[in-house]
């Protein structure tokens, strides 16, 4: 019974934190007032307000990475893999704008970068494992993985940031249609 209540409190705090962030009141007071959970309980579960922010970021990022992995692992070639990643990333942003906004803002998470990286490492490892045979076969450029990530995810992150900011002319469906080829060419070996 106590563990279930604890899990419910954690869930309530995470959900409320996302709502508070979306409504422009991502503060300790904003979250505790909205959730009805005490500051002591928040600290008990997350260690600090920044710990709550890191947990929410980790959860949002895990959902995004799961969507990318699911899309990627259904493909065979690096070209179709790039297309799947582009579509999955932009679809995630379109259907989960609050979570995408939180990922791109990453408020109050700097002090938890190592823990966040550790939590997402298994998912990143799956993405990299999918890429490695294509790099070894010479179809994907043999670049350091962080550079591959920049070429693959960088354009998607920028489109998403601009779309979330309401920049005129940014259409996620159009981006999903036109970005796969240029992104693929940037990753193609010998390009």
Q: Does one domain contain both 104 and 35?
A: no
Q: pTM for the full model?
A: 0.93
For residue 150, pLDDT over 80 is answered with: yes
Instruction: Determine the structural domain holding residue 7 and report its residue range.
Output: 1-47
Q: What is the pLDDT of residue 1?
A: 65
**CA dist., res. 91 & res. 67, Å (int):** 9
- The verdict on 5 and 25 lying in the same domain is yes
Cβ atoms of 107 and 31 closer than 8 Å: no
Looking at the structure, do residues 83 and 177 belong to the same domain, yes or no?
yes
Report residue 191's pLDDT band, with 50, 70 and 90 as the boundaries.
low
Question: Residues 64, 152: one domain?
Answer: yes
Taking the CA atoms of the chain, what radius of gyration do you get in angstroms? 19
Q: Which residue has the tokens 């934190």?
A: 17
pLDDT digits (tens, 9 = 90+) for 4-17: 778 999 999 999 99
107 & 131 share domain = yes
- Do 28 and 71 reside in the same domain of the chain? no
- pLDDT per position as a tens digit, 69-83: 999 999 999 999 999
- Specify whether 21 is located in the same domain as 58: no
Q: How many domains does the chain have?
A: 2
Q: What is the pLDDT of residues 103-133, one digit of tens each?
A: 999 988 989 999 999 999 999 999 999 999 9
| E strand or H helix that includes residue 112 | none
Of the candidates 12, 28, 47, which is a domain's last residue?
47
How far apart, in whole angstroms, are the C-alpha atoms of residue 184 and residue 80?
A: 9
Report whether 61 contacts 103 (CB < 8 A).
Answer: yes
Q: Residue 2's pLDDT is what?
A: 66
Please give the pLDDT value at position 5: 77
- Exposure letters 15-33 (e unless 16+ CB within 10 A, then b): ebbbbbbeeeebebebbbe
Q: Which pLDDT does position 181 carry in this prediction?
A: 97
Of the chain, the end-to-end C-alpha distance in Å amounts to: 59
| CA distance linking residue 181 with residue 55, whole number of Å | 35
Cβ distance 22 to 97 under 8 Å?
no
pLDDT at residue 190 is higher than 90: no
47, 62, 78: which is the final residue of a domain?
Answer: 47
Shared domain for 81 and 126, answered yes or no, is yes
The pLDDT value recorded for residue 34 is 96
**Domain co-membership, 67 together with 153:** yes
Residues 18 and 103 reside in one and the same domain: no
> 179: closest CA among 150, 149, 159?
159
Residue 144 and residue 74 share a domain: yes
- Which CATH number goes with the domain that contains 83? 1.10.357.10
62 and 24 part of one domain: no
């Amino acid at each position: 019974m106590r563990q279930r209540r604890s899990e419910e409190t954690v869930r309530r705090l995470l959900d409320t934190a996302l709502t508070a962030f979306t409504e422009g009141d991502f503060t300790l007071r904003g979250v505790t007032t909205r959730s009805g959970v005490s500051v002591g309980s928040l600290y008990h579960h997350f260690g600090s307000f920044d710990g709550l922010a890191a947990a929410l970021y980790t959860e949002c990022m895990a959902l995004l990475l799961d969507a990318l992995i699911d899309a990627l692992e259904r493909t065979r070639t690096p070209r179709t893999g790039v297309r799947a990643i582009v579509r999955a990333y932009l679809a995630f942003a379109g259907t989960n704008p609050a979570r995408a906004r939180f990922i791109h803002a990453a408020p109050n998470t700097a002090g938890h970068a190592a823990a966040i990286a550790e939590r997402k490492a298994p998912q990143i490892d799956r993405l990299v494992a999918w890429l490695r045979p294509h790099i070894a076969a010479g179809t994907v450029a043999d670049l350091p993985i962080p550079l591959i990530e920049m070429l693959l995810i960088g354009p998607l992150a920028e489109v998403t940031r601009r779309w979330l900011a309401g920049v005129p002319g940014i259409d996620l469906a159009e981006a999903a249609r036109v970005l796969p080829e240029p992104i693929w060419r940037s990753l193609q070996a010998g390009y």
